[in-house]
Structure 1
Amino acid sequence: MQAETRATLSKVPAITLGFWLIKILATTLGETAGDTLSMTMNLGYLASTAIFALLLLVLVWRQVAATAYRPYLYWATIIASTTAGTTMADFATRSLGIGYAGGSALLLAAVLLSLASWRLTLGSISAAHVADARTEIFYWVTITFSQTLGTALGDWTADSAGMGYGGAAILFASGLALLLTAYWLTSISRIALFWAAFILTRPLGAAVGDFLDKPLDHGGLAFSRPLASAVLGAAILALVVLSRWRADDYSREI
């Protein structure tokens, strides 16, 4: 009964295969949608960051005010965090001129500081049960920093390290495979593995997103950014609807 009550109160989805599939698609969408505003529509990194940051603040406010898990609201907030992360990382590494290495180091410090503050304040950084306002604020701050860090890492690996978008995608997918292996074969903290995986899905999405929409002479497939974003958004919506249908079906059975 206590476990059921905790699950009911939690305002985040269960960490399942479906969660990770939607998360990877959302991070890929964040890259293509962020580039659509900053590059295709030529709004620039700063203006695009302001737009996405405002949207993120509104959605986080709605998420914190909600009394239960709302799938569409939750995943809309995740997408807003990853699009804001895309333009914030690009602004920091390119417009401010601190480079990928400097941007990645700064953002990694921000993620670690957020997690440390969360742990010291509330005693746990578990993402399995997020219900009260303080926990949720730490949750979304950490997520936004991790999304921004992931963008910088993805661009750094693909561009500066010379691996290209395909090579970077393979590298980060391999990293996720290693984390999955550690999950099954070791007793490493599940919380640590979750946050490591959460961070790594973002550069994977960044590399895949860039591979889809960058020009052919830059190693991409030159797909339309708005079209790629629309297709990714439709796939995310379909998976969220499917996850809701399965959850409703399961609740009827029990």
Structure 2
Amino acid sequence: MTLLFWVLKTVAVTLGETAGDLLGITLRLGYLATGLVFLAFFVVTVVAQVRSGRFRPALFWAVVLGTSMVGTEISDLLNRGFGHGSAPAGIGYAWGAALLTGVLGVVFLVWWRTGRTYDVENITDRPGEILYWIAILVSNTLGTSTGDWLSDDTGLGFRNAFLVIAGTMALIVAAHYLTNIPGTLLFWLAFVLTRPLGAAGGDSLTKPVAEGGLGWGTAWGSAALCALLIALIAHQTRHVRRHPLPPLPAPGTA
């Protein structure tokens, strides 16, 4: 189930990247209009998720997808400016990543000040879950900027950026098994990094061959990722029904 979680997370955020590019760039809706569409989707799903009394895989991953789609548009709007392409009117990928890193730090500081645990398996009350989703939204937005910075500003390109992030993820896995670094810290590092991994992977699928991609295009790439996500969610749903999750402990603090 742990492996399935990370596969689902990666597929969901990759779909968020390609779907954002599909509406914002390919269909020329622009980052602002696309962001508003995705924001409405995110608000509806996150409200339903917070009000839900138990884990529902389809709903949970719909919210994760929503954070990724909204995060893609926030990042593009911040870094590139208004429009429907790579307009040089924003603050740039590096400054965008730096700014969003600061915002994520503030979110975790506020979370810490509430006294609630960072351990996502032990979030047991509504305020804790709201903080969790805010952190995910900001982390996915940060991941978009980081992935774009690695792919474009450093000259690595989409495939090499993907390999660099995948290598970093492998080091985090090794640290989990071989060191005493707190698992919660490693979880959030990996959670942030799955977004640039998805951004680089999505670009690798959809961008033209001349630009280092596979040339699938945003429509076909999004369709393939959506089909894969639905299949994985269906598998997880069957697993949860056959092996119900144990009750959560009483609310705790960090």
Task: Say whether the fold is shared (TM-score over 0.5).
Answer: yes
Partner of 1:155: 148
CA distance in structure 2 between the aligned counterparts of 1:153 and 1:210, rounded to whole angstroms: 13
Q: Deviating runs (4+, > 6 A) in structure 1?
A: none
Residues 21 and 218 of structure 2 are in contact (CA less than 8 Å); yes or no, is this contact kept in structure 1? yes
The count of corresponding residues between Structure 1 and Structure 2 is: 237
Letter in 2 for 1:69: F
Partner of 1:192: 185
CA distance in structure 1 between the aligned counterparts of 2:14 and 2:153, rounded to whole angstroms: 20
1:227 CA displacement:
1.7
Higher normalized helix content (fraction of residues): 1
Indicate whether 1:91 and 2:77 are aligned. yes
Which of 221-230 and 171-180 deviates more? Answer: 221-230
Indicate whether 1:123 and 2:116 are aligned. yes
Letter in 2 for 1:84: V
TM-score (norm 2): 0.90
Residues 166 and 208 of structure 1 are in contact (CA less than 8 Å); yes or no, is this contact kept in structure 2? yes
User: What secondary structure does 1:84 align onto?
Assistant: helix
Indicate whether 1:79 and 2:65 are aligned. yes
Residues 122 and 135 of structure 1 are in contact (CA less than 8 Å); yes or no, is this contact kept in structure 2? no
Equivalent in 12, 24, 32 of residue 10 of structure 2: 24
1:127 CA displacement:
1.1
1:31 CA displacement:
0.7
Partner of 1:242: 235
Which of 166-175 and 236-245 deviates more? Answer: 236-245
Letter in 1 for 2:29: L
1:56 CA displacement:
0.8
TM-score (norm 1): 0.90
Equivalent in 86, 99, 110 of residue 106 of structure 1: 99
Deviations 1:117-157 (A, max 9, x none): 11111332111123321011100000000000000000000
Residues 57 and 233 of structure 2 are in contact (CA less than 8 Å); yes or no, is this contact kept in structure 1? yes
Partner of 1:178: 171
CA distance in structure 2 between the aligned counterparts of 1:234 and 1:158, rounded to whole angstroms: 26
User: What secondary structure does 1:32 align onto?
Assistant: helix
Structure 2's unaligned 5+ residue stretches are 82-88, 245-254
Equivalent in 217, 222, 228 of residue 215 of structure 2: 222
Letter in 1 for 2:238: W
Indicate whether 1:54 and 2:40 are aligned. yes
Which of 236-245 and 38-47 deviates more? Answer: 236-245
Letter in 2 for 1:237: I
CA distance in structure 2 between the aligned counterparts of 1:130 and 1:243, rounded to whole angstroms: 20
